[in-house]
Amino acid sequence: MARKVRVRFAPSPTGALHIGGVRTALYNYLFARQHGGDMLLRIEDTDSTRFVPGAEEYILEALDWLGIGIDEGLRWENGKIVQVGNHGPYRQSERREIYHQYVDQLIQSNHAYYAFDTPEQLDAKRAEIPNFQYDARTRMQMDNSLVIGMDEAKRRIAAGEKYVVRFLIEPDENITVHDLIRGDVTINSSILDDKVLYKSADDLPTYHLANIVDDHLMEVSHVIRGEEWLPSAPLHVLLYRAFGWTDTMPEFAHLPLLLKPDGNGKLSKRDGDRLGFPVFPLEFHNQKDGSVSSGYRESGYFPEAVINFLALLGWHNSTDQEMFTMDELIQQFSLDRVSKSGAKFDYEKGKWFNHQYLQLKSNEELATLFMPILLDKVPSLAGNSAVLIGSTSVVEATVAQVIGLVKDRVNFVPELWEQANFFFVAPTEYDEKSLAKRWKEDSPRHMTELLEVLEGINDNDWTTPAGKTAEEGVLNTVVMNWIAEHEYGVGIIMNAFRICLVGAARGPHIWTITDVLGKAETLRRVRQALSTLN
């Protein structure tokens, strides 16, 4: 097939974009880019009752944040929605006129009919007859144009009666759908019901009709979507046939589902709340029900980590490679290497990916990201930013230096504060556990003596000279000599000293801490600890 590859991501604006939807969008995007094709974004808002304000913006902004580019349809540009392409409009609610025409075509070719049964009547029927289905076996007992005749049907419609248009499905026909991931899938048409294609109540088609008409009109070549659509794929094939579009029918690929980490079943928003991780890319404030959902972005995830993690949930290139840039994914992605079975969402692995990407970032880059958090925690630092060296403030340079000391122990930028807070703020309380284990009876005396030793060191000798290791500095030599002289234990002294500076038994090497703190602050903290802990 020489047809140009055109794929689409077609979400419904019914809330935040689920992480499974993000993966579907990603796979579509990778496939499009790899084949030099187009990635379209269409909004499927044919259910007016489920529309959530802000959802559209949310979806587009999320894809933009993740670097999933849109070539045609709706996309996010400079904080607002723009429409590109000449197959629009790209919102189904704005395509009513188009659907009317195709609904009429189906009626005229006897592939569809008018039905007047109300939802209440249908409910009653279902209650009355077990496994009731509106199909070849039952349609002639219902209230529709097949029974009452077209003239009568038109009369009732003209009189303002509400109706739907149903697809007439011929029974007992085997329909085979070729799926790029699963191979041929065959079902018998008798299990399908006469699907509602159009509802006059809101003058909108249902998903099935709108989807087929739009994919056809937008010249979509490949439909890559979630596995939940597999059962209705044969219906879609039947629609393509009814319209006479079989020669341009897109190819199908149904992706495995993202499952909850524990137990069984589809990953849901509730699982995230319950297990404490986001299931949405961005934080979402639902204007309809007032709920707030956490997002990966706000939790400190890098978009490239989310992409990498998601890409591997259901796809694998058969090598041991785990880290992939978007470009590598575009190059290597392939539908026939997508798994058939659902993947449980392993949040821990996601954290690991973020850790990897965080280590790849420069200290300066991380400092820029961390600065707002730091200034929020320590507002007094804000004034210091005024002093600039080049474009970097003195404080920011220090922040970058400190980040370099602690970044290998964090997974997320916000965690930098927990690891580095003592560099910016002297401890006001001391960790109980550390105290119990490391602050001994002799510690106050040791620290008092150490204070004298440290006071004797020249200001110029305090900081470790460039190019030397912390152990080669004057501080280390002097302190170690003093320890040896008095036959103290290195551990007992250093740990007590650490508690004075940090407030707990944690953190990087002690001399790198004294380097950053400087002599005055170091001494001040030891004195403060002595007066607090005595």
Partner RNA sequence: GGUGCUAUCGUCUAGUGGCCUAGGACAACGGCCUCUCACGCCGUAAACCCCGGUUCGACUCCGGGUAGCACUACCA
Closest separation in Å from C-beta 343 to RNA: 3
What is the C-alpha separation between 466 and 360, in angstroms, rounded? Answer: 24
Give whichever of 118 and 401 is closer to RNA, judged by the CB atom.
118
- The SS3 assignment for 73 reads strand
For 472-529, the three-class secondary structure string (H helix, E strand, C coil) is HCHHHHHHHHHHHHHCCCHHHHHHHHHHHHHCCCCCCCHHHHHHHHHHHHHHHHHHHH
Closest separation in Å from C-beta 8 to RNA: 12
Closest separation in Å from C-beta 394 to RNA: 26
For residue 303, which of 277, 332, 325 has the smallest C-alpha distance?
A: 325
Give whichever of 77 and 471 is closer to RNA, judged by the CB atom.
471
Residue keyed to tokens 């940090």: 502
Give whichever of 265 and 518 is closer to RNA, judged by the CB atom.
265
Does the annotation mark 199 as catalytic?
no
Which entry of 125, 269, 344, 351 is annotated as an active-site residue? 269
- A 10 A CB-CB count for 328 gives 14
Closest separation in Å from C-beta 384 to RNA: 27
Query: Are 190 and 136 spatial neighbours (Cβ–Cβ below 8 Å)?
Result: yes
Give whichever of 375 and 492 is closer to RNA, judged by the CB atom.
492
Closest separation in Å from C-beta 464 to RNA: 12
Give whichever of 278 and 314 is closer to RNA, judged by the CB atom.
314
For residue 267, which of 12, 531, 18 has the smallest C-alpha distance?
A: 18
Query: Are 133 and 166 spatial neighbours (Cβ–Cβ below 8 Å)?
Result: no
For residue 165, which of 115, 203, 211 has the smallest C-alpha distance?
A: 115
Closest separation in Å from C-beta 385 to RNA: 28
For residue 344, which of 230, 277, 273, 263 has the smallest C-alpha distance?
A: 263
Closest separation in Å from C-beta 79 to RNA: 26
Give whichever of 230 and 523 is closer to RNA, judged by the CB atom.
230
Task: Output the DSSP codes for 315-383.
Answer: B--SSS-----HHHHHHH--GGGB-SS-EE--HHHHHHHHHHHHHHS-HHHHHHHHHHHHHHH-GGGGG
Give whichever of 6 and 195 is closer to RNA, judged by the CB atom.
195
For residue 349, which of 329, 323, 328, 320 has the smallest C-alpha distance?
A: 323
Query: Are 125 and 132 spatial neighbours (Cβ–Cβ below 8 Å)?
Result: yes
State the catalytic residues. Answer: 269
